[in-house]
A = this chain, B = another copy of it.
Amino acid sequence: MTTTENTTWRSAEVSTLDDDTLAQVHGWWRAANYLSVGQIYLLDNPLLRTPLSRDDVKPRLLGHWGTTPGLNFLYAHLNRAIRQREQSTLYVTGPGHGGPGLVANAYLDGTYSEVYSDITPDAEGMRRLFKQFSFPGGIPSHVAPETPGSIHEGGELGYALSHAYGAAFDNPDLLVAAVVGDGEAETGPLATSWHSNKFTNRANDGVVLPILHLNGYKIANPTVLARIPQDELRSLMIGYGHDPYFFEATEETDLATAHREFAELLDTVLNVIAEIKARPDDDETPTRWPMIVFRTPKGWTGPATIDGKKSTGSWRAHQVPLASARDTPEHLRVLADWLGSYRADELFDDEGRLDPFIAELAPPGSLRMSATPHANGGLLLKDLRMPSFRDFAVDVPAPGATIAESTKVLGTWLTEIVRQNPDNFRIFGPDETASNRLQAVYDATDKQWNAEFVGPEVDEHLARAGRVMEMLSEHQCQGWLEGYLLTGRHGLFNCYEAFIHIVDSMMNQHAKWLKVTNDISWRRPIASLNYLLSSHVWRQDHNGFSHQDPGFIDHVINKKAEVVRVYLPPDANTLLSTYDHCLRSRQYVNVVVAGKQPSPNFLTMDEAVAHCTRGLGIWEWAGTEQVGENPDVVVATAGDVPTLEGLAAVDILRRNLPELRIRFVNVVDLMRLQDEKEHPHGLNNHQFDMIFTRDKPVIFAYHGYPWLIHRLTYRRANNENIHVRGYKEEGTTTTPFDMVMLNDLDRYHLVMDVIDRVPSLGSRYATLRQRMVDKRITARQYTREHGDDIPEVRDWAWPSEYAQTFASDVSSTGGDND
């Protein structure tokens, strides 16, 4: 599938480290530990050329030491192995708290000075390196976008393995060394992500080497996995389908012995991986990939005790063990001893340059884990080959004249994208890709599955390799996709609308990552994170109240405007046009909400493209306004079901109030409603006032929680006149129209809203208003009796007679819809 890069999977003689290599590895580790401690504590005097004084210590000590030495140890050993095997390797740091360690290693690698030219590989650079850490105007204390070699912040725990597997998909020559903290291992998302091995293809995907870092403690507690019998832990890992290798070092372990034992274990494990990789591609022997249990003391090499209490090897080493080093002479002395224990004078010369012999441990160029292009995915990103979405347009001879399932139509186009992009595009979903009606993609691909098969009568569209990734874990879908995108590929996540809240916090972290990378010059743009939310709030006939929640939109737009976009295409052609835009975009979180049920098509493809490009627009064919006259009322809609109800309301109004001048507005790009100062897509006030008027009533039928529209428009001149109908958490129901009635979003209620709010109508239309109330009562009664919507609603369609006025115009503008 993918071409090989710089290596195949090599075996090597298992090493127990000759004395030189031991000195080199140990030297690297000491250097990395020294630099880590320096970052946490030192404001100045980086090489301790003068005795450590109070003023050398930062006034506010912020950061985390506990996990860092373990991460540094692994980094040093991986360096040795990578250099020997020329193995392209990505290092995923689950314990994001190990920020100083990853920065230290990138500095020792040379990468840090390459991307941050003021952090030079000398004493002054080291001083800057130390000072900037967790310091105002400096860098964050966590592994972060600012850290070269990182795709994973780890600020919020739980996603190390799903990110690692996402990075490995379609990178057959990549090793992903994924360190999982034992705190993180307690989270739900991490606990299920061990099962990712069942979704990984041996031939086409890279290899994830999980390293469970058992340092035993969290902030204030022991960790679960460090406090179960080793046999039980072994069973757990075997039960997850992994082949565990155990390493243990205690505070008493001789460090040379620790290095020799770990080197041997790492070589053994990498050889096992090489053997598995060497099997023929079509060999279907069940694969049990190795993983490493790495049990080391928390805060390894730090002070054994502080103030008479055990520090190293306890939760007390989690953050800053000597928090009052500046103000307590005894702590300052302990800190000086601690720093001294690394014998930095043997590691760095008088200019602060790393001993060349130790520096040689770093692999060359992009084989450095801090410099791998996989951790700066934009470098590897290729544009998708995009078939023209126009070729997949549905025919719309007149507005509402044809019916389609929007997501099903989208699926036909995605099928062609899958065909044309066989190794850098995947579709993720929690068992819902077919339920969300994208099943056409199975004409071109399968669901990737590497657990057991039973037989074709049940295992439809299931294969060892495929572009669709389905596991019933929204966390896994999101985490895999993030890992896939961050390493320079493309994809989308289709999900039931209500349950996308499961990944609210993951979306937060990804959006923050994007926001920060926008300001980091060496980070290249990556493909957007695209959501397709279907099975939405208005059509939960099978499931009811628990499956109704349109609030992900509200959640997303709290993130920085420059990285979030929300689209509500009202029909199939607008969905195609919208998604084409999303898949071409970079550095965004795009949320697209679209129905999967049969519903009318309103716009030809030319109209759809124009409408989506504008983001919102007046549907002239639907309204009754005259050019040159102000409308009496604006009926605005956003979302497919609200658009249908809005049009049905206009139909009633046109029949009963032919003199009423109605403007019909549809909004696809929700961010257009905001002010241009708030969002790059926002309309300026003049444009907004042109469309929504400055003083006419606006009846707005909206897909989600109604107050979002108010939030987006509260500064507009016409704000007071905007009356929004949306979802109100009103409980369960089982027919489509009953659902909209329950939330007062139905056509009859919208008509009542117009009558109530257009001052010129007043009591003259009391009878029509009452008729609407009665219609609702009748419709509900019918539904209660028959279990289905009343036919006049269910079978309603936009009347063809209205369309004729504009049909000639419409057909003259576009010809590629047939």
Residue-wise interface mask of A (409-425) relative to B, using a CB-CB cutoff of 8 A (1 in contact, 0 not): 00000000000000000
Question: Is A738 an interface residue when CB atoms closer than 8 A count as contact?
Answer: yes
Residue-wise interface mask of A (451-478) relative to B, using a CB-CB cutoff of 8 A (1 in contact, 0 not): 1111001111010000000111111100
Question: In the complex, what residues of B have CB within 8 A of residue A340's CB?
Answer: none
**Contact residues of A between 430 and 449, Cβ < 8 Å to B:** 431-435, 447, 449
Contacting pair B188 A187 (CB below 8 A): yes
Question: Is A353 an interface residue when CB atoms closer than 8 A count as contact?
Answer: no
Question: Is A707 an interface residue when CB atoms closer than 8 A count as contact?
Answer: yes
Name A192's contact: one of B186, B218, B223, B705 (CB within 8 Å): B186
Q: Which of A131, A184, A310, A502 has the most CB of B within 10 A?
A: A502
Question: Is A136 an interface residue when CB atoms closer than 8 A count as contact?
Answer: yes
Question: Is A275 an interface residue when CB atoms closer than 8 A count as contact?
Answer: no
Question: In the complex, what residues of B have CB within 8 A of residue A549's CB?
Answer: 505, 508, 558
* A327, chain B: closest CB distance, angstroms: 13
Stretch with Cβ within 8 A of B (4 or more), from A11-19, A153-161, A643-651: A153-161
* A96, chain B: closest CB distance, angstroms: 7
Q: Which of A153, A183, A546 has the most CB of B within 10 A?
A: A546
Contacting pair B515 A729 (CB below 8 A): yes
Q: State whether A188 and B473 are in contact (beta carbons under 8 Å apart), knowing that A219-B434, A516-B731 are contacts in the complex.
A: yes
Q: State whether A190 and B188 are in contact (beta carbons under 8 Å apart), knowing that A451-B222, A714-B719 are contacts in the complex.
A: yes
Q: State whether A504 and B555 are in contact (beta carbons under 8 Å apart), knowing that A136-B783, A187-B473, A459-B222 are contacts in the complex.
A: yes
Instruction: Find the B residue at minimum CB distance from A319.
Output: B542
Residue-wise interface mask of A (25-67) relative to B, using a CB-CB cutoff of 8 A (1 in contact, 0 not): 0000000000000000001000000000000001110111000
A555 to B193, CA, bound (A): 27
A233 to B236, CA, bound (A): 9
Instruction: Find the B residue at minimum CB distance from A298.
Output: B458
Question: Is A743 an interface residue when CB atoms closer than 8 A count as contact?
Answer: no
A471 to B186, CA, bound (A): 7
* A725, chain B: closest CB distance, angstroms: 15
Instruction: Find the B residue at minimum CB distance from A182.
Output: B472
Contacting pair A788 B546 (CB below 8 A): no
A544 to B714, CA, bound (A): 31
Q: Which of A59, A137, A190, A788 has the most CB of B within 10 A?
A: A137
Question: Is A686 an interface residue when CB atoms closer than 8 A count as contact?
Answer: no
Range, interface on chain A: 35 or more
A135 to B135, CA, bound (A): 60
Question: Is A759 an interface residue when CB atoms closer than 8 A count as contact?
Answer: no
Question: In the complex, what residues of B have CB within 8 A of residue A560's CB?
Answer: 729
A475 to B187, CA, bound (A): 8
Instruction: Find the B residue at minimum CB distance from A459.
Output: B222
Q: Which of A64, A218, A240, A458 has the most CB of B within 10 A?
A: A458
A314 to B459, CA, bound (A): 9
Name A558's contact: one of B144, B153, B705 (CB within 8 Å): B705
Contacting pair A315 B458 (CB below 8 A): yes
Name A188's contact: one of B191, B232, B234 (CB within 8 Å): B191
Question: Is A239 an interface residue when CB atoms closer than 8 A count as contact?
Answer: yes
Q: State whether A545 and B158 are in contact (beta carbons under 8 Å apart), knowing that A188-B473, A504-B555 are contacts in the complex.
A: no
Contacting pair B156 A470 (CB below 8 A): no
Q: State whether A499 and B558 are in contact (beta carbons under 8 Å apart), knowing that A224-B198, A734-B136 are contacts in the complex.
A: no
In the assembled complex, 16 residue pairs joining A and B whose CB atoms fall closer than 8 Å, in A order, are A58-B787, A134-B734, A141-B544, A156-B546, A187-B188, A188-B189, A191-B195, A195-B224, A218-B431, A219-B432, A222-B454, A222-B458, A222-B462, A227-B454, A228-B241, A516-B545
- Which 3 pairs between the two chains have the least Cβ-Cβ distance? A155-B546, A236-B239, A188-B188
Known: A140-B543, A232-B241, A711-B714. 6 other contacts (CB 8 A): A153-B546, A186-B195, A187-B472, A221-B470, A224-B451, A515-B731
